[in-house]
Structure 1
C-alpha cells in the first residue's frame, strides 16, 4: 500500500508542476469572483509549504509545524522552481524515513493534502476557462 501512495503522490506532484509551468503570469494570479476564493498562486504556496512541512514531519516521525520557504512577492518562476525542488527532494526524504504507523499516517496526510488542492485547482482552472494538463486523473 505504501508504494501505491508514494506513486500517487509523485503523480500529483507531476500534475501540479506541469500545470504551473503551463500558466501565464496573469492566469497564475487570477481568481474567480466569488467569496473566499484563492488564486492558483495561493494554492501553490500552501502546497509547497505543506510539502516542506510534511518532509520535516516524515524525518522527525511527527508533525513539526507548518512553514513555507516562498517569500511574499515570489514570482511564478520561484513557484515553479519550488515545486520541482520538492518533487525532486521527495525520494531523498523517503530514503531516510524510519517507517512506522506515525510516518505512514504523515505520508497519507501528504497525499490527502495534494489531492484536496488539486481538486480545488481543477475547479478554479475550469472556472477561469482554462484546461488542466492531460496528466490530471481527476479533471
Structure 2
C-alpha cells in the first residue's frame, strides 16, 4: 500500500507542477480544429475524479461523479482544489489497511490521473506550451 500511495502522490505532484506552470489564459486553450474540450475542463475532470474516487474509497463502492470546481478558467481555484484533494486523499490513505475493493478504487484513481497526463501532453504540444521540468524528466519530453 505504501508504494501505491507514493505513486499516487507523485502523480498528484506532477499535475500540480503542470498547473502552476500554466498561465491563466492557457486554461481556455483546446486543440484547434480537433474535437476537444479545454485545458481547464481537463483539470475539472481531474478534480472531480479525485473527489469522486475519494468518496468511493471511503465507502468501498462507487457513489457517483461530482466536482466542486466551478470556474475552469480560474487558476487559483484549480490549484486550491488540487491541493485540497491531494492532502485529503494522501492523509486518508497513509498508514491504512484497505480492502481489495478500496485498493482497486485507488488504482482506478491513479490510472485516471495518469490518463489525463497523457491527454494534457497533447494539449501542451498542440499549443506550443513548455513542459515543467518534472514532466520532461518523468515522460522524457
User: TM-score, normalised to structure 1's length?
Assistant: 0.90
User: Hey, what does 1:127 align to over in structure 2?
Assistant: 126
Deviation at 1:95, TM superposition (A): 4.5
Moved over 2 A (4+): 2-5, 95-98
> Which residue does 1:62 correspond to in 2?
61
Taking the aligned partners of 1:59 and 1:46, their CA distance within structure 2 comes to 20
Change (3 A) 1:130 1:36: same
- The residue number in structure 2 matching 1:12 is 11
Does residue 30 in structure 1 map to residue 29 in structure 2?
yes
**Cα RMSD over matched residues?**
1.7
CA deviation vs aligned residue, 1:51-103 (integer Å, no higher than 9, x gap): 00111011001111100011256622101111111111122221485511101
Take 2:94 and 2:126, find their aligned partners in 1: how far apart are those partners?
A: 39
> Contact 1:59–1:97 (CA<8 Å) still a contact in 2?
no
Question: Taking structure 2 as the reference length, what is the TM-score of the superposition?
Answer: 0.89
- The answer to whether the 8 A contact 1:53-1:68 is kept is yes
Q: CA deviation at 1:120?
A: 0.3
- 8 Å CA contact 2:31–2:126 kept in 1: the answer is yes
The 1:32/1:119 distance shift into structure 2, 3 A limit, reads same
Matched residues, number? 138
